[in-house]
Amino acid sequence: MNSLPGRAALSLCRRTAAGGMRVFAGSPSHPAGGLTASLQAVRVCHSGTNRKGSVSTKKRGYDIIRNPNLNKGMAFTLDERLQLGIHGLLPPCFLSQDVQVLRVMKSYETRVNPLDKYILLMTLQDRNEKLFYRVLTSDIEEFMPIVYTPTVGLACQQYGLAFRRPRGLFITIHDRGHIATMLNSWPEEDIKAIVVTDGERILGLGDLGSYGMGIPVGKLALYTACGGVRPQQCLPVLLDVGTDNQTLLNDPLYIGLKHKRIRGKEYDELIDEFMQAVTDKYGMNCLIQFEDFANSNAFRILNKYRNRYCTFNDDIQGTASVAVAGVLAALKITKNKISDHTFVFQGAGEAALGIAHLLIMAMAKEGLSREEAAKRIWMVDSRGLIVKGRSHLNHEKEEFAHDYPHVKTLEEVVHTLKPTAIIGVAAVAGAFTEKIIKDMASFNERPIIFALSNPTSKAECTAEQCYKLTEGRGIFASGSPFDKVVLADGRTFFPGQGNNAYVFPGVALGVIACGVRHISDDIFLTTAEAIADMVTEENLAEGRLYPPLSTIREVSFKIAVKIVNYAYKHNIASLYPEPKDKEAFVLSHIYSPDYDSFTLDTYSWPQEAMNVQDV
């Protein structure tokens, strides 16, 4: 390769120079700079000098190079090629993993369309898993918007066209009674984490049915890239019960069941059987993350299973954790307490209610009762402000219904209530109008404006609108990434992205490491506090309410250590004896994208012991 893409080469040089992963200061058991040797095992990338012990496999020939878990492409040495029976099946060229990364980057940078970039990366994952994760971790800020939001939303919409090779397990409503048999089809036995969806509420895009498989695949890729969970221990699952999306039902290329969604008793029996079959096969410690279920099912399923299985709903609890982390970081700017704020939510679904409940827990730590805390939270749904006496309020919304006249629009609500913070989670693009943003700036010296809806096309406002209309005083966070904003006076802001990826990889790593059986909301509040603690004054000055995405592996590591400490302190861990060194314990569970060696363990006996006996 005679020329390398400049940005890729720069990225590689930056990574190689950076060396190992940094652990944040403040650990009582390990001062900054400790665990140097152990940290080399979890570094984001390496300089190619580290050698690991050999691994053994009975596979040979094409079974090696067609297996993404084993394939190293042209990084196989000559000895490995001869011993594994693949010599001649690869070009006569030997590449380091660093050069392979550059080859991928050169191909990646020729793609302009984000969907084309997504397909390139997913094809790499199907071909060479370790190289895929090496590429992802080389520049997580670049690749996260491609393998997850916002591009994954487009990929799901186009899943029938982008479909190359099946990933994950497709379980349908017609498989009831046989789910245990279907799990036996999956080649890996030691599954520690499952992300499951029924495809009914994919991001802000609605019912995509079987096309929703892109979400569990993308989530679990971030489990590994951001948290270090081993990919062989992850299983994406799509529960196909049909779709109510008539466009898909009419599409001859649609790859799912072509009938309306099955609901009621049959649906519940499918979920029950799935949960039982998973824990029967993989154990009660298997983490099951529910993802993108409709409001009508999400809370019901979470409340039904949260105290019976190791499970959580990322749309409710993960979103809550990352949003509250942003609020806690914002308090470093406003210099007051959560209980001093009044929150107005645009939306009253899973995300809004999850955030609200975690805010109540945070206020309770400041000494407020649940009732007093709820009075500081207001919600606006499609029918207007949620108030007492309004018809068709479900149980979850009733807690936030206040004695107040009915107000129809968000603009009126903001103008009347004069909140200190507005949080958008209803996927209503442009909901935060110019008037709303200017009103927020007139009520507050530092208004908190969170436009958290995904994908970018559904955001309530852009970062530029927030910063310009508030003259740089707005404290902004979004669900999808926005470019930096430069104001007329030269001030530059880097918008904080309240991405759930700050939460679920670290939570998963910590839960899996110590065998937590039930995941309480306290774990998500602990996670939010950990994320906010990592936001520096320099970050805040730049407009960031979250640590830079480039440090997300460090963030996930610290969250996992915090969860492990919390689990043993509160007796919810199931793995004993309790490890003395929690950091080293978590590090031992982290996946490395470095290639394994397949060279056989060869040795010789003393010559006299090998003499051939003759007649």
Which residues are identified as catalytic? Answer: 148, 219
Contact 376, 363 (CB under 8 A): yes
Would you call 263 exposed, middle or buried from its count of C-beta atoms within 10 A (0-12, 13-18, 19+)?
Answer: middle
Produce one character per residue of 70-90: b if its CB has 16 or more CB atoms within 10 Å, e if not.
bbbbebbeeebbebbebeeeb
Question: Looking at beta carbons, which pairs linking 486-489 to residues 24 or more positions away fall under 8 Å?
Answer: none
What are residue 32's phi and psi, to 5 degrees? Answer: -55, 140
Contact 50, 594 (CB under 8 A): yes
What is the rounded radius of gyration, in angstroms, for the C-alpha atoms of the chain?
Answer: 25
Quick one: angle between helices 140-147 and 129-138, nearest 10?
A: 120
- Name every residue whose Cβ is closer than 8 Å to that of residue 303 and which is 6 or more positions away in sequence: none
Listed residue (356, 318, 357, 363) closest to 337, CA to CA: 363
Contact 193, 235 (CB under 8 A): yes
What are residue 612's phi and psi, to 5 degrees? Answer: -85, 125
Would you call 599 exposed, middle or buried from its count of C-beta atoms within 10 A (0-12, 13-18, 19+)?
Answer: middle
The CA distance from 175 to 34, in Å, is: 52
- Name every residue whose Cβ is closer than 8 Å to that of residue 529 and which is 6 or more positions away in sequence: 325, 328
What are residue 127's phi and psi, to 5 degrees? Answer: -105, -40
72 CA to centre of own chain: 26
Helix (H) or strand (E) holding 37: helix 36-40
Q: Is 206 left (phi over 0), alpha (psi -120 to 50) or beta?
A: left
Q: Is 19 left (phi over 0), alpha (psi -120 to 50) or beta?
A: left
DSSP state string for 440-470: HHHH-SS-EEEE--SSGGG-SS-HHHHHHHT
Residues β-bridged to residue 422: 344, 449
Instruction: Dig out the tokens for 469 from the structure.
Output: 């209309």
Q: Which whole-number Å values give the CA distances from 255 to 70, 252, 310, in the listed order? A: 29, 8, 31
